Amino acid sequence: MYLTLNAPDLARPLFRAIAPHLPAPLERRWRLPSQRGGSGLPEAVWNDVQALECEERRQRRLHPLSPVEQDAIRALRGRQWDGLLHLFEQRGISGVMVWNGYRGRRGLLTLAAQHAGLRVVQFERCAYPGFVQAGLGGTNAGAAHLLGEAFASTAPDPEIIDWFAATQRQRPKRGLLGRLSPAQRNTDSTPAALPDRFIYCPLQVAADTQLTVHGGWVEDMPAFIGAVTEAARSLPSDVAVVFRPHPSCAVGQAQALQHTAASSDRVRVIADGSSAALLARSAAVVTVNSSVGLEAFAYDRPVVTLGQSFYGGRSLTHEVQDQTALAAAFKGLGDLSFDADRRRRFLTWLRDEGFQRWPASAADPAARALAQHVAALMDAEG
pTM exceeding the 0.85 threshold for the entire prediction: yes
Dump strand ranges (E) for the chain: 2-5, 26-29, 95-99, 119-125, 131-136, 198-202, 240-244, 267-269, 284-287, 303-305, 318-319, 356-357
Amino acid making up residue 371: A
Phi-psi category of residue 352: left, alpha or beta, with phi > 0 → left and psi -120 to 50 → alpha? alpha
Q: How far is CA 5 from CA 101, 109, 134, 138, in A?
A: 10, 9, 15, 16
| H runs (alpha helix) in 127-219 | 160-170, 182-185, 209-212
pLDDT in tens, the chain (382 residues): 999 999 899 999 999 999 999 999 999 999 999 999 888 899 999 999 999 999 988 888 889 999 999 999 999 999 999 999 999 999 999 999 999 999 999 999 999 999 999 999 999 999 999 999 999 999 999 999 999 999 999 999 999 999 999 888 765 554 433 344 444 444 455 666 799 999 999 999 988 899 999 999 999 999 999 999 999 999 999 999 999 998 877 676 888 898 898 888 899 999 888 899 999 999 999 999 999 999 999 999 999 999 999 999 999 999 999 999 999 999 999 999 999 999 999 999 999 999 999 999 999 999 999 999 999 999 987 6
Taking alpha carbons only, the member of 98, 18, 39 closest to residue 359 is 18
Measured in residues, the chain has a length of: 382
Taking alpha carbons only, the member of 300, 295, 348 closest to residue 171 is 295
How many CB atoms lie under 10 A from the CB of residue 382?
3
Rounded CA-CA distance 25/27 in Å is 6
Q: Which domains does the chain have, with CATH numbers?
A: 2-126+355-379 (no CATH), 152-350 (3.40.50.2000)
Instruction: Classify 202 as helix, strand or coil.
Output: strand
